[in-house]
Chain A
Amino acid sequence: MTAKKKKSEMINLTIDGRKVQAKPGWTILETARFNHIHIPTLCFHPAVKPWGSCRLCVVETRYGKRGQIAPSCLIHPVHQLEVFTDSERVKNVRRWVLEMLLAECPASREIKELAAQYGITSTRFHITDPKEECLKCGLCVAVCHEVVGVQALTFGSRGVKKQLETPYRIPNSACIGCGCCVSVCPTGALQARLDTVRGDLSRRTGHGFAH
């Protein structure tokens, strides 16, 4: 591939009325952040592949006459795309998302603060567990697999019963106790739960490999 062709590959788009350029492969979120345009996220972490579970990073995209609301962490821009990160339509979706998250993890300080920024202080959805902090964004699962290289954490059950847990709900000997899951958790829910994953560390060290 020649250098000349590469140059012409820059994609021109506008984000909130600002003209910006993006290279193929960049997502809208990455392009926006690089241009100091803030988009709130919960389940996005640069260390792992984005998978758009929290739906907070949604933006409104318009291309000619067509337009849609889409998660900015997953979609790649095209030429002449118009992106709105803070339009009324976007805000409305975010408010819905936050209201649902407030019901999902009512104990989380981070979610409450974020919701308050959008004017949400209460939720109309059913609260199953008032002490829940985990929003099941899956960052911990992804980081454990993609960054650490082990699979100590998984999602158990499905649908509304989905829970973050270890296989058989017992401490997993695959866990190396690195705490990466705790570090990436957007609500800090894993800090209290780490012991259910790693178990008693002293039991697992002192394996007597010496002579």
Chain B
Amino acid sequence: MKTGQALIPSGPEPRLGIFLCECGEEIAPKVDLAALARTLAPAPRVEHVEILPFSCLAPGLDRVREAITRKELNRIIVAGCESRILHKKFDRALAALGVEEEEIDLVNLRDYVARVHQGAPGELAGKGAKLIRASQAWLETLKPAPRLRIDYQGPVLVLGGGIAGYGAAQELAEQGVETIIALHRDQEEEIRRAHSIYPGDDHCFDRLASIIQRVTASPLVRTVRVGELKQVSGRFSDYTVTFTAPKGEEIVEYQAGAIIAALDWEVAHQFPEFGHDGDRVICQVEMNEFIRDGRPLIDRIVFWINDMEAGQPFAAHLSLEGAWNMATLLREKWPETRVSILYDGSLAIPFGTFDRARARQLGIALIPYNGKVRPLVKSEYISFNQKNIQTEQDLGWDLLVLSPRRNPGAQALGTAKILGLEVKEEEFLERYPQMVRPDQVVLDEKLIVGSACQPCDLRGALSQGRRVAKKTAVLVKKAQAGELYAPRVISTVDQDKCSVCTLCREICDCLAIQPVSGPVEGLGHNVPRMVDPMLCTGEGTCVASCPELALTLENCTLAQHEARVTALARSLAADEVMGFGCQWSGAAAADQAGLRGLAYDRRFYLLPVRCLGQIDPVVMAWAFLEGANGLLLIGCNPEECHHSYGIDHTWSRVWVLRKLLDLCGLERERIALAHSDITKPEGFVGTVESFLKTLDTLGPIPREAETQSKLQALYDTLHVYRVRWVLGVSLRRPWETSYPMHMPNPVAYDRTLTEIVGEEFFRARVRNLLRVKGKSLLLQDITQALGVEEERARDYLKDMGQEGLISIVFINRTLYYGLPFGPQ
């Protein structure tokens, strides 16, 4: 063991080391680093401040390591450049010394201060000091959560009954991973079904048969026959999957560590509007049967690839390939037939010159048509507009073969639903991987494969299965070796606080939040939530919306946010403004503004966050309470959140803050949400300049007792369950059209929200007033102190009394309102 490891105390006392980078000519001459170091050094927990030419290069890193070992530092701030790019290098370099990634923070002195502002080095050092102090508060409040190791148990369960499952099982067996494959049919039936849903793939069936054989023969693969999938519960590493028995009603249960769902599409005949009659106008599925039955076929056969016209352009190349395979088979078996393939000329042809040569050799006519003119089926002829020549042509047929219609199928959608996915009728389950870094989430995509997810042919389905199995095998092996850890920043639920409102589950788009163990008998679904650490991307919009504040974002907590905001807000001058920037857009655009040498007002202070969604409205309120005069939140473009609609949720939260600022008698414009993108740093600069201009016209918030008490009430209001709940249900996905609580339209909904917020704000103010006065008050006292109408106040107070929030007593025939009796 190295000596360095033993020196780091595991105790909670933070010992900070601050390293200031000169960065060649980039920072040092513009910012007075010596003065900055002098400002930072006297703080109580700061043990080490050092100016380095380049902290990020090998000599600098050696110095950082040496300081950590010598002074037993456990929190590191590097004031240099972009955290997005260099954080990882510091993580890796300092990991051996026991400094975890969340214990390192990078402050972008170069792009937030040195490059973008003109000014005396001393003044710029002042700005740098405030930013570093904020980061210092963040790290001091940090209570590092223990690393969460995933204990993996049980085999991989392949369910869904799709062909892709065989590909997956084969790969897993080859990799030496124990697997259960749940089958719905026997082998013969399986192959018959595959023939009917993958027409034209006959040449792949030998391979499929051999794969099936290998899978069933493998000692690592257990084949089980099951009926319907009933329920999936648990999380990665520990799933319980329930099926009905293949025959009868009883239930069978399987334990699995991971689940791969293999889902096949369903294939149907083409619409009659294309002339389909099952006799002379048939579709590829029927043609496939004819060929397999060896039915004698008649003279002129035309394959029309009509997927474009049938509204399924994604399947056109599959139909074309199927048609080509069938056509070659036909010409080989029935040389007297004449085969043509009529396809949309705008298609990228999936076969090359070799195939074209073969087509000529076999006498298959490949005819492209102009897709803009719809071909029309007539008896014995099909008319089309030939591509390039642009003339109307007729093509005679005796048997017209249309493309089949493909849809994901009820069975696949049902399975997906049980797995917790939101499914839409007739829509394929295609998923894109999560748009976060691989180290921010373990399972970046759900393990669902097959043609019901991504339309493909038989070969494609098998390879999809193999691909996902390869990924799973890597994870499983890592977990079995005890090396699979959850990411450092993930949500966790305090099971005691959770009131089972299901809000977080509705909001989470990563599918990470689940009931503890599925529906419990007698309780229904009402069991506390838990977070699957493998799926959580660490965004935290669920945390920011929990009405009970029962969720925590590990290593990125509410307390940390509040501490950082406090440190910055208190240090700001009257004309200075703070803001939050999302690491994907706002903060990135600020980095880019520095790199591109843009300049903007020095009075803007940006705090980078992982996602704006994690900024609880409480934090926004806290900023105002602690002395911020304005708050600018810069995030991604709408609907472009890399996690789960964080930016869209922030939008709702900012609106509620504006309502509350109104109630405080402050200007709504003091808080603003802006959208930004890394490719548009000029836009970022424009946003900042215009917000500062707005704040200049508004002036600072007068900080007398009255306003402070209102801001305190604002802060308290946002802790109230009712407000958080109503705000939570209003966190909507942009495409949703219905409103919660049966509201007919957005105006009615907003009116309700305003009323609720208004009432709770009043309540918070009354409580604060009573607490300050320390005695019961008359109605007139309250209305006078709070400046509200008497009638309304009486109604509100009556409700408060009934709810036991205040006590209402008669003394000498006069009503007195006071704090409730008993423990408060």
Contact = CB atoms under 8 A, between A and B. Distances in A.
Interface stretch (A57-65, A126-134, A183-191): A183-191
B420 interface: yes
Dominant SS at the A interface? loop
A96 interface: no
Contacts of B508: 209-210
A161 interface: no
B431 A183 contact: no
A182 B679 contact: yes
Given A33-B24, A47-B88, A205 B639 contact: yes
A201 B435 contact: yes
Contacts of B636: 201
A89 interface: no
A157 interface: no
Contacts of A34: 53-54, 57, 59-60
A34 B434 CA distance: 40
A195 interface: yes
Interface stretch (B69-77, B590-598, B792-800): B590-598
B45 interface: no
A118 B388 CA distance: 56
B422 A210 contact: yes
B588 A204 contact: no
B252 to A, nearest CB: 26
Interface string A1-37: 0000000000000000000001101110011011110
Interface in B500-522: 505-511
B506 A176 contact: no
B85 A202 contact: no
Interface stretch (B436-444, B649-657, B710-718): B436-444
B642 A177 contact: yes
By CB atoms of chain B within 10 A, which of A22, A35, A201 has the most?
A201
Contact of B84 (A30, A31, A180, A207): A180
A210 B82 contact: no
Contacts of B412: none
Contacts of B640: 177, 201-202, 205
A150 B678 contact: no
Nearest to B80: A46
B437 A178 contact: yes
A202 B647 CA distance: 12
Interface in A138-194: 143, 147-150, 173-174, 176-180, 182-184, 188, 191-192, 194
Given A179-B588, A205-B639, A46 B422 contact: no
A183 B591 contact: yes
Contacts of B510: 209
Contacts of A31: 59
A46 B54 contact: yes
Contacts of B678: 179, 182-183, 191, 194
B11 interface: no
B54 A211 contact: no
A208 interface: yes
B149 interface: no
Interface in A36-53: 36, 38, 45-47
Contacts of A36: 22, 53
A46 B432 CA distance: 32
B273 interface: no
Contacts of A179: 84, 584, 588, 592, 678-679
A206 interface: yes
Interface residue range, chain A = 35 or more
B481 to A, nearest CB: 20
Nearest to B55: A46
Dominant SS at the B interface? loop
Given A179-B678, A194-B679, A47 B89 contact: yes
B57 A46 contact: yes
B62 interface: yes
Contact of B509 (A173, A202, A207): A207
A46 B24 CA distance: 13
A209 B89 contact: no
Contact of B422 (A147, A176, A192, A211): A211
Given A38-B24, A201-B640, A209-B421, A33 B84 contact: no
A134 to B, nearest CB: 15
A40 to B, nearest CB: 10
Nearest to A39: B24
Given A34-B57, A188-B596, A204-B432, A209 B509 contact: yes
Contacts of B24: 33, 38
Given A34-B53, A34-B54, A211-B505, A23 B420 contact: no
Nearest to B595: A183
A208 to B, nearest CB: 4
A20 B268 CA distance: 78
Given A147-B88, A173-B432, A211-B422, A38 B439 contact: no
Nearest to B423: A208
Contact of A180 (B22, B85, B423, B438): B85
B68 to A, nearest CB: 17
A182 B585 CA distance: 12
A176 B595 contact: no
A27 B642 contact: no
B433 A173 contact: yes
A30 B679 contact: no
B320 to A, nearest CB: 19
Contacts of B59: 22-23, 26, 30-31, 34
Nearest to B431: A207
Contacts of B588: 178-179, 182-183
A23 B432 contact: no
A41 to B, nearest CB: 10
Contacts of B735: 206
Nearest to A201: B640
A183 to B, nearest CB: 6
A149 B438 contact: yes
B85 A208 contact: no
Contacts of B591: 183
A195 B640 CA distance: 13
A184 B591 CA distance: 10
Contacts of B432: 173, 204, 207
A209 B435 CA distance: 13
A143 B86 CA distance: 10
Contacts of B62: 23
Interface in B47-105: 53-54, 56-60, 62, 82, 84-86, 88-89
Contacts of A143: 85
B84 A210 contact: no
A46 B642 contact: no
By CB atoms of chain B within 10 A, which of A31, A188, A202, A205 has the most?
A205
B603 interface: no
A188 B434 CA distance: 27
A210 B506 contact: yes
Contacts of B58: 23, 25-27, 30
Contact of B679 (A178, A192, A202, A208): A192
Nearest to B591: A183
Interface of B: 22, 24-25, 53-54, 56-60, 62, 82, 84-86, 88-89, 420-424, 431-439, 446, 505-511, 584, 588, 591-592, 595-596, 636-642, 644-645, 678-679, 681, 733-735
30 contacts: A23-B59, A25-B58, A26-B58, A30-B54, A31-B59, A33-B53, A33-B54, A34-B57, A36-B53, A38-B24, A47-B86, A149-B438, A176-B642, A178-B437, A178-B584, A179-B678, A183-B82, A183-B588, A184-B85, A191-B592, A191-B679, A202-B640, A205-B642, A206-B734, A207-B509, A208-B423, A210-B422, A210-B505, A210-B644, A211-B505
Given A46-B56, A177-B435, 20 more contacts: A38-B24, A45-B85, A46-B89, A147-B89, A149-B437, A176-B436, A177-B640, A180-B84, A183-B588, A183-B592, A183-B678, A188-B596, A191-B592, A191-B596, A195-B679, A202-B640, A204-B435, A206-B734, A208-B423, A209-B431
Q: Which are the 3 A-B pairs with shortest beta-carbon distances?
A: A179-B678, A46-B56, A34-B59
